[in-house]
Amino acid sequence: MQKEKIMADKFAAYTKRNDFLICVDSDGCAMDTMNIKHFRCFGPCMVTEWGLEKWKEEILARWNELNLYTMTRGMNRFKGLVKSLGEIREKYCEIEDFNRLEKWVEETAELSNDALEREIGKADSVCLKKALSWSLAVNQSVGRIPEEEKRPFEGVKEALKKAWRDADIAVVSSANPGAVLEEWDLHGLLEYTDAVFAQNSGSKSYCIKELMKRGYRPEHVLMCGDAPGDLEAARQNGVYFYPVLVGREEESWKEFQETGLKRFLEDSYGGQYQTEKEKQFLENLGEK
Ligand SMILES: [Mg+2]
């Protein structure tokens, strides 16, 4: 399958093949790439950038809690940074010019390196500069993760293979499109994928909405994801949600293959099963 063909950032190029559509998130859902990025890149780069070595262990543990194991899982990196630095200044030490960064994150229309760079051009701020330097260091450090360590979770390929027989499969991710394509291709997942929509295609909610215009009924669309943002995207479109639970990913994909997929295709996903899956998902992220 040609990469260009699948790189459908224009929804017009998308062709409906089945009556059922399964949207699958990539990072932390199909690909086991989220823990490693937070463990090795995001948190440690913040410790280095702000010289927080003295409290390293506690700070990294809290970073992971906020970005992986609670309801803020999957939040934008700059939001995560402000949340963490905000706690650090209350608990450990002063963060110079913190309010300037907090203000930018609250007010900017775009949370990206480019937007941050433009802001630095307008305001001479230590904290904004540090945030950019941190974000670039994170990208470099993510780029150094060896290919062989970015793998799909156990059971993903089998599940997609099975699902692809009766449903269209679209990757719906907010990650970098090049990285998603490369990872999915390397592990043979593109074979069971009809299209890839990433960061440059719009929000997840928007992607699902656009795909539904191809003529899928809402009860024949399923969003499969690992973060509250995925659940939200499903809810906004009135479609079903299947959670890949953090720490229990293998088990989640096994259940998808054995139960979730079958129920979805047999129109018995709604009601009790969907409620139960959502409850499990929220509880797993510490929500009562
Ligand atoms: Mg994810």
Give per-residue pLDDT as tens, 234-282: 999 999 999 999 999 999 999 999 999 999 999 999 999 999 999 999 9
CA 24 to ligand 1 center in whole angstroms: 9
CA 281 to ligand 1 center in whole angstroms: 13
Average pLDDT of span 184-205: 92
Residues near ion ligand 1 (CB < 5 Å) are 25, 27-29, 226-227
CA 272 to ligand 1 center in whole angstroms: 25
CA 73 to ligand 1 center in whole angstroms: 9
pLDDT in tens, 213-225: 999 999 999 999 9
Given this structure, which CATH class describes domain 3-32+151-284? alpha beta
Is the pLDDT assigned to residue 105 strictly greater than 60?
Answer: yes
Q: What is the pTM of this model?
A: 0.91
- The percent helix, strand, coil of the chain (3-state, each to 5) is 60, 10, 30
CA 196 to ligand 1 center in whole angstroms: 14
Measured between alpha carbons, how far is 92 from 108 in angstroms, rounded to an integer?
Answer: 28
**118 Cβ partners below 8 Å, 6+ apart?**
none
CA 70 to ligand 1 center in whole angstroms: 13
CA 54 to ligand 1 center in whole angstroms: 31
Measured between alpha carbons, how far is 34 from 68 in angstroms, rounded to an integer?
Answer: 8
CA 112 to ligand 1 center in whole angstroms: 18
Q: What is the pLDDT of residue 6?
A: 52
CA 64 to ligand 1 center in whole angstroms: 14
CA 158 to ligand 1 center in whole angstroms: 19
CA 93 to ligand 1 center in whole angstroms: 32
Q: In the chain, pLDDT over 70 holds for what percent of residues?
A: 97
Q: What is the pLDDT of residue 2?
A: 47
CA 262 to ligand 1 center in whole angstroms: 23
pLDDT in tens, 74-83: 999 999 999 9
Average pLDDT of span 104-120: 93
Mean pLDDT of the chain: 94
Is the pLDDT assigned to residue 30 strictly greater than 90?
Answer: yes
Q: Where are the beta strands (DSSP E) in 33-137?
A: none
CA 79 to ligand 1 center in whole angstroms: 16
> What stretch(es) of the chain map to CATH 3.40.50.1000?
3-32+151-284
* Coil, helix or strand at residue 196: strand
Average pLDDT of span 176-192: 91
Measured between alpha carbons, how far is 162 from 180 in angstroms, rounded to an integer?
Answer: 21
Task: Write out the DSSP string of 74-108.
Answer: T--HHHHHHHHHHHHHHHT---TTHHHHHHHHHH-
Is the pLDDT assigned to residue 175 strictly greater than 90?
Answer: no
